[in-house]
Amino acid sequence: MERDTSFLLTGIKFNKKRFAIDFARFKKKKQSNDDGSVDDLSYFKREHTEADKVAVSVSKKRKRKNASERVEGFNVFKGSSSLPVVTNEESDQEDNNQKKELNRQNERDLRLRKKYGINVSGNDVPSPLQSFAELSTRYGCDSYLLHNLVKLGFKEPTPIQRQAIPVLLSGRECFAKAPTGSGKTLAFVYPMLMKLKHASKDGIRAVILCHTRELATQTMRECKKMAKGSKFRIKLMTKELVRNADFAKVYCDILISTPRRLQLCISKKKKKIDLSRVEYLVLDESDKLFEHSLLEQTDSVVKACCNPSIIRSLFSATLPDFVEEVARTVMHDAVRVIVGDKNAASESIKQKLIFAGTEEGKLLALRQSFAESLNPPVLIFVQSIERAEALYEELKFDSIRVGVIHSNLSQEQRENVIDDFRAGKTWVLIATDVLGRGMDFKGVKCVINYDFPDCAASYIHRIGRSGRAGRIGEGITFYTEDDIPYLRNIANVMAASGCEVPSWLMDLPKKKWKKHYPRRESIATKPKDQEE
Ligand SMILES: Nc1ncnc2c1ncn2[C@@H]1O[C@H](COP(=O)(O)OP(=O)(O)OP(=O)(O)O)[C@@H](O)[C@H]1O
């Protein structure tokens, strides 16, 4: 992985004035639809929680004091001439009460974080959400957004949503790690929709960077579902847009793109894209975006988003130390949110290691496992395009509906393969790591690492295509002699995720893991001259 990332995210200055506007945005307002009617959102009907009562009482007292007022960690609105005079005694009493209430609030926050396995670091980290209802009571969320949560069937925030949403709504930068399939997309999209408030009349206001086109397309689709009922323009940076658009005329609230496509638009000689007004920038799968192959492109996007008040956030299911270093040193007053163990996979995935001996052994083991119990949809990962095609050739005559996807296919072919898999037309999808991260195929029951993953992070992301949103999943990893030196790293992930690991595995020597791409024997069982 590339380590020289110090130039990333630089040149951003902190602008305190912006928090005055943020505060005004957080103020409660009556929730109504475009037609003026108020939604029946019994789902989120306000039960006044202890946290709200404390917040209200503290805020009343604060208003009576002619002192600075704190909103989620920042000082705003210093002084006011129209406030009543309070005696010293009363003021001391109020100070004491306020301190007690804040202590109680802190204790409640700690309990809630402990309950949901949330770890935070940073100054004045905002309280986690107890329920989605607090989006409305604490932050004045528009009713259409609550309505969309009902339609999506989401009743409770997931742990990452409980903590990352208040952090972002407080105008804080954030780097977050939470298990695969735990709802990180909503955790960054909802605050964006709440803060953007009104549709853009001028330029591009928010950017979400995704490492692949497939993930960008999925994120756009999810974003549109979440923003339904608003006038926001949510756009995907397609090839056509890159080629033909006059970006001076592109109004867009949320732009979703891969770093490569956005970099092309930034470097255009004529009609280049202006990102200087972007208020929110999300780097999804951030550790991947900082890898050598994408670093330069990511960096040029980050630099082009030069609005001094920008709020940047990094999300992933894996957070290597070097990404933390970048985030800590360069982001301003960022909050770090970690859900669960740092090196763990999702706990809802049963993890298995199978010694297949040789390449031939892998194919036999795969066929045997399909013969015994094929529980579709199944995703199979291999390490290269050639191997993906070879495995497809082997399986396509096995009366299994099988598909294959890799980066040598055209965009249209890739989209069709994904659509077929989502629709259940194919049961087994063979993929390279192009599908290893971020993709949300809800029903995937089992992921098979036909080829051993190239690093522990790939392992966590690949098996994380199953067991999403609390469902049970299974991750099976074949290994051969070549992979044995790297087994211990996977064993560590398994142990951190609460799986039982045989002691001999934990006794294996630790190996510093760079990328593991061994030369493997061919998958094909037919001699080349007999292939069609
Ligand atoms: N509060 C919620 N309640 C129930 N389901 C939810 C909730 N929030 C999100 N989901 C669902 O959980 C699934 C996984 O969400 P998402 O794709 O955002 O996960 P993720 O954490 O980004 O995973 P990955 O690390 O693999 O990218 C989606 O199908 C989404 O619709």
Average pLDDT, the chain: 84
Domains of the chain by range and CATH? Answer: 2-73 (no CATH), 93-339 (3.40.50.300), 349-530 (3.40.50.300)
* Tens digit of each residue's pLDDT (9 = 90 or more) over 130-178: 999 999 999 999 999 999 999 999 999 999 999 999 999 999 999 999 9
Specify whether the CB–CB gap between 455 and 426 falls below 8 A.
Answer: no
Q: Name the residue of 154, 224, 285 whose CB sits within 8 Å of the most ligand 1 atoms, as the mutation to test its pocket.
A: 154
**Which two tokens mark 367?**
């066929």
pLDDT band for position 108 (50/70/90)? very high
Give the position, in ligand 1's atom list, of the atom nearest the Cα of 180: 25
Distance CA 317, CA 340 (A): 10
154 CA from centroid of ligand 1 (Å): 10
SS3 content of the chain, % helix, strand, coil (to 5): 40, 15, 45
Specify whether the CB–CB gap between 353 and 479 falls below 8 A.
Answer: yes
- Contacting residues for 81 by C-beta, under 8 A, at least 6 apart: none
Q: Per residue, what are the HEC states of 180-230? A: CCCCHHHHHHHHHHHHHCCCCCCCEEEEEECCCHHHHHHHHHHHHHHCCCC
* Tens digit of each residue's pLDDT (9 = 90 or more) over 318-330: 999 999 898 888 8
222 CA from centroid of ligand 1 (Å): 10
* Tens digit of each residue's pLDDT (9 = 90 or more) over 215-274: 999 999 999 999 999 999 999 999 988 888 788 777 899 999 999 999 999 988 777 899
Q: Which residues pair with 157 in a beta bridge?
A: none
Residue with CA closest to ligand 1 atom 15 = 183
pLDDT computed for residue 442 by the predictor: 81
What ipTM describes this predicted complex? 0.99
The beta-strand segments (E) located in 51-146 are: 69-71, 74-76, 118-121
185 CA from centroid of ligand 1 (Å): 6
Place of tokens 């040789």: 358
For residue 285, which of 315, 257, 261 has the smallest C-alpha distance? 315
Q: Name the residue of 182, 288, 337 whose CB sits within 8 Å of the most ligand 1 atoms, as the mutation to test its pocket.
A: 182
Burial class, 259, CB count within 10 angstroms (exposed 0-12 / middle 13-18 / buried 19+): buried
85 CA from centroid of ligand 1 (Å): 51
Residue with CA closest to ligand 1 atom 23 = 181
**265-283: buried (b, 16+ CB within 10 Å) or exposed (e) per residue?**
bbeeeeeebbbeebbbbbb
Residue with CA closest to ligand 1 atom 25 = 180
Which residue has better confidence, 102 or 85? 102
Q: Which of 35-44, 94-103, 187-196 has the lowest mean pLDDT?
A: 35-44
436 CA from centroid of ligand 1 (Å): 16
Give the position, in ligand 1's atom list, of the atom nearest the Cα of 185: 18
Specify whether the CB–CB gap between 430 and 405 falls below 8 A.
Answer: yes
Helices (H), 227-320: 239-244, 259-266, 286-289, 292-304
pLDDT band for position 527 (50/70/90)? low
Distance CA 275, CA 258 (A): 15
Q: Name the residue of 152, 156, 463 whose CB sits within 8 Å of the most ligand 1 atoms, as the mutation to test its pocket.
A: 152
181 CA from centroid of ligand 1 (Å): 5
Residue with CA closest to ligand 1 atom 27 = 438
Provide the 3-class DSSP secondary structure of residue 77.
Answer: coil
Distance CA 291, CA 326 (A): 13
pLDDT computed for residue 4 by the predictor: 43
**Which two tokens mark 291?**
């890898």
pLDDT band for position 439 (50/70/90)? very high
233 CA from centroid of ligand 1 (Å): 22
135 CA from centroid of ligand 1 (Å): 18
Kindly report the number of other CB atoms within 10 A of residue 294's CB atom: 19
Cis-peptide, bond into residue 377, ω within 30° of zero: yes
Burial class, 238, CB count within 10 angstroms (exposed 0-12 / middle 13-18 / buried 19+): middle
Phi, psi (5° rounding) for residue 373?
A: -160, 105
Residue with CA closest to ligand 1 atom 3 = 154
**Which two tokens mark 30?**
């009556």
18 CA from centroid of ligand 1 (Å): 31
The beta-strand segments (E) located in 370-449 are: 378-381, 402-405, 428-431, 446-449
Place of tokens 């409980």: 162
Residue with CA closest to ligand 1 atom 10 = 183
Percentage with pLDDT > 70 across the chain: 82
In the structure, which protein residues have their CB atom closer than 6 angstroms to any atom of ligand 1? 154, 156-158, 161, 178, 180-186, 317, 438, 440, 442, 464, 468-469
